[in-house]
Amino acid sequence: MARIAVTDGMAEAAVTRLEEAGHEVVLAHHSVQDLEEGALIGFDAVVVRSATKMTAGVIAASQGLRLIGRAGVGVDNIDLAAASAAGIVVCNTPGASTGSVVELTIGHLLASVRHICIGDRNLRAGEWSKKDLTGTELAGKRLGLIGFGRIAQGVGRVAQALGMELHSFDPYIPVEIAEAAGCMLHDDIDDIFSICTHITVHCNLTDETHHLVNEARLNLMTGVGADGIPCGNHLVSCARGGIVSEDSVASALQSGQLASAALDVFEKEPVGDSPLLSLPNFHGTPHIGAATLEAQSRVGLQMADSVISFLSGGEPASVVNPN
């Protein structure tokens, strides 16, 4: 029997699967101070989501830990180098929440171009602003996908069904994958901003991608669709906070360079006092990309299977750090 710490919650069915495999599961969230003082000592594995930060200090204080399971995709809350140095395997569940994030991204995009959030706010304030909320269609416009992994490809399929033309920047994706998906892959990210009026973000947060979406690139956008309609410029990110420069987005929204922006992820979470929240052409959600019942079930069960496999001497389904 192994001891497994679950610090950010887990689907009940997944906990049951771990327990039925003979393991002890302890569900409890810990402060950073508690973690650095050894709250994970005595555990063989820990399963985290985005709230728990597995820093080098936390990893050093977690003697005996053999596996860190990230129930989700992004691993920017885990110091992979420190984990590797300590001989700890890190795994994630990259495909489990894809559909949920795809749908939220498309939802934000549709809400942006049809002024759904502004219309709702005005209705609640007693305003019938029908004449002021003429939107634009996604059909006939170019969608620029920053990154072209699983989620971006899913967004692309829905966008194509709505009549959009796909363009992407991703230096790590073979051109054959983009071509098979009907997407034009570009070598220069600035090309995406120069020719696309609608941008969605789908890459990981790294030193390379920090503030990848910034003032200079937003200013390249023309606001005129491929169909000749002056549709404005629109930005959506359900990827990771920090890829988009929030100050740049706020300035672009205020100047009109961006007609709308929608974020599910922020540099600081919870957001607190952000200039974005006072702008009518911005709407956001509190990092709920994977927050569907279906995704939570898939994430939990896939992670449980990976943990069980590892503790039985096997290999987790998706290892993300060298050992």
What are the catalytic residues? 240, 269, 287
Cα 293 to chain center, whole Å? 17
* Sequence-distant (≥ 6) Cβ neighbours of residue 219 within 8 angstroms: 252, 257
Q: What is the rounded CA–CA span in Å between residue 252 and residue 260?
A: 9
C-alpha span between 203 and 209 (Å, rounded): 8
Alpha helical stretches, state H, 52-174: 56-60, 80-85, 98-113, 116-124, 150-161
Alpha helix positions (H), the chain: 12-20, 32-36, 56-60, 80-85, 98-113, 116-124, 150-161, 175-180, 189-195, 215-218, 246-255, 293-311
Report how far Cα 116 is from the mean position of its chain's Cα atoms.
22
β-bridge partners, 25: 4
Residue among 295, 253, 256 at smallest CA distance from 277: 253
